[in-house]
Amino acid sequence: MNKTRNTLMLLLTGFIWGVAFVAQSVGMDYVGPYTFNAVRFIIGAIFLLPCIALLDSLKKKETANSVETPQPPADRKILIIGGICCGLALAIASTLQQKGIALTTVGKAGFITAIYIIIVPVLSIFLKKKPRFIIWISILLAMAGLYFLCMTDSLKFSRGDTLVLLCAFVFSIHILVIDYFSPKVDGVRMSCIQFLVAGIFCGVPALIFEHPTLSSLFAAWAPILYAGILSCGVAYTLQIVAQKNYDPTIASLILSLESVFSVLAGWIILGQALTPKEIFGCVLVFIAIILAQLPEKKSLPSSETISE
């Protein structure tokens, strides 16, 4: 049941991120990449503060008759370290993505970003987490689907493509950092800390290089609020909560559906037509996700074990 719940939360995360591509594109018409990221991360952190207070009050009501033990300093230290590591990875990856999108096409950026579904299992091998064979099949299917879905240009690499490729690598690290810390800490609190760290990390260069004004921020209020509340406050928090005790490689596959959802959102919301090639790509990615969810076959006991 927990796996099903976590899978649904990751699907919702991918959906919110997919629709957020529209918000990111529109928001960049008014403010620079550092400013856009800094404001949305700070909004995400502020959004989570009342959520944390509400969850704490509900928890106190549940444990009203029991003696509540304070959080040990060691746990708080892990929480802060995890939030800082996640925040730095998120800030660097998001900045590379925003800068890269400005120098390449959206299709190529979406495809190259999704390369994290290959990078995550490769890095997992070094962390002694060997993916199952069916997962590698799913990865190949997903990459093929994302190619048909996103790629309309040549594979020639530009400077923007290189920045997005670096972004995919850092997003892979972000996924693995969450995989390491999420079972050890409160997911909502760690998410709040990561947004605060990411907001500060992006806010400093925003003030130095972009000199944002209130008029430009008000002009971009709708995409910034969507990116801050839903894409950050809701989706990234769902990612942290859902990845607790969840295979990071399968999580990366499900999250890659953001590319599919972005195309579907353009079709439904903006009336952009889907080509047969794009529909075929969507089908391949969905098949890859279904294959990755198939349960692992348990080995039957040997005859010697049965005889004993």
For 275-301, how does the pLDDT look when each residue is reduced to its tens digit (9 = 90+)?
788 778 778 877 877 776 666 655 444
The pLDDT tens digits for 90-106 are 999 999 988 887 777 66
pTM above 0.75, yes or no: yes
The predicted pLDDT at position 303 comes to 43
Q: Tell me the C-alpha to C-alpha distance, in Å, between residue 74 and each of 38, 77, 81, 83, 184.
A: 30, 5, 11, 14, 11
The predicted pLDDT at position 206 comes to 94
Indicate if the pLDDT at residue 48 is higher than 80: yes
Query: Considering the chain, what percentage of its residues have pLDDT values greater than 90?
Result: 30
Cα separation, 303 vs 130, whole angstroms? 28
The pLDDT tens digits for 113-159 are 777 878 888 888 877 777 778 778 888 887 887 777 666 655 566 78
The answer to whether the CB of 179 falls within 8 A of the CB of 243 is yes
Higher pLDDT, 225 or 75: 225
The pLDDT tens digits for 213-260 are 999 999 999 999 999 999 899 998 899 988 888 888 888 888 877 777
The predicted pLDDT at position 114 comes to 75
The predicted pLDDT at position 306 comes to 37
Report the candidate in 260, 257, 253, 254 with the shortest Cα–Cα distance to residue 279.
Answer: 260
Least confident of 6-20, 21-35, 81-95, 108-122: 108-122
